[in-house]
């Protein structure tokens, strides 16, 4: 997942853990303490896709320093873990995933300015695919 202040991009992978694909963009509800609305929708997606774990992007500065966005992503991951303790949650570096996704969409002829939802999903795909690839490289 690519967690942001306005939206959460969601991606999933095939059962063999080879290819990441976009799922949807969840709107972040202002004033919703503890991410309740977002976590309800995520629980539905976890069930629908038979998810066995969740990868949450951890945004840091280009120098690897934590930011307000990092704290927000950690807060989301903590709430997710509290709500679904049996679901493993991995936090992974997401530096430049949105830039990579925007560039790929732009290269494919998509107008990224009008399609923030698509960018968020594409960023989630980039993030998840990098996680998948790193897992395969370790084998």
pLDDT tens digits for range 112-132 = 556 777 888 888 999 999 999
Work out how many domains the chain is built from and give that number: 1
User: Over the stretch 2-19, which tens digit does the pLDDT of each residue have?
Assistant: 998 899 999 999 999 999
Supply the CATH number for residue 129's domain.
3.30.420.140
pLDDT, mean over the chain: 86
The label of the residue with tokens 């939206």 reads: 7
What residues contact residue 92 under an 8 Å CB cut-off, 6+ apart? Answer: 55, 56, 57, 58, 127, 130, 131
State the pLDDT at residue 100: 65
pLDDT of residue 8: 95
* Residue in this structure with the two tokens 């949807």, named with its chain if needed: 24
pLDDT digits (tens, 9 = 90+) for 49-80: 999 999 999 988 778 889 898 999 999 999 99
Domain that holds residue 16: 2-137
Instruction: Give the C-alpha separation, 31 to 38, whole Å.
Output: 12
Q: How far apart are CA 122 and CA 2, in angstroms?
A: 9
pLDDT at 103 over 80: no
C-alpha–C-alpha distance, residues 34 and 37, integer Å? 9
């Amino acid at each position: 997942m690519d967690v942001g202040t306005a939206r959460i991009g969601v991606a999933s992978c095939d059962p063999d853990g080879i290819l990441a694909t976009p799922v949807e963009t969840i709107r972040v509800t202002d004033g919703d303490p503890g991410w309740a609305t977002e976590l309800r929708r995520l629980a539905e997606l976890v069930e629908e896709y038979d998810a066995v774990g969740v990868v949450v992007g951890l945004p840091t500065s280009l120098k690897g320093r934590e930011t307000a966005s990092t704290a927000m992503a950690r807060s989301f991951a903590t709430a997710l873990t509290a709500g679904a303790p049996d679901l493993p949650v991995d936090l992974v570096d997401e530096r430049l995933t949105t830039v990579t996704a925007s560039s790929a969409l732009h290269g494919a002829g998509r107008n990224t300015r009008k399609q923030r939802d698509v960018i968020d999903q594409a960023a989630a795909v980039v993030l998840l695919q990098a996680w998948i690839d790193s897992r395969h490289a370790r084998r």
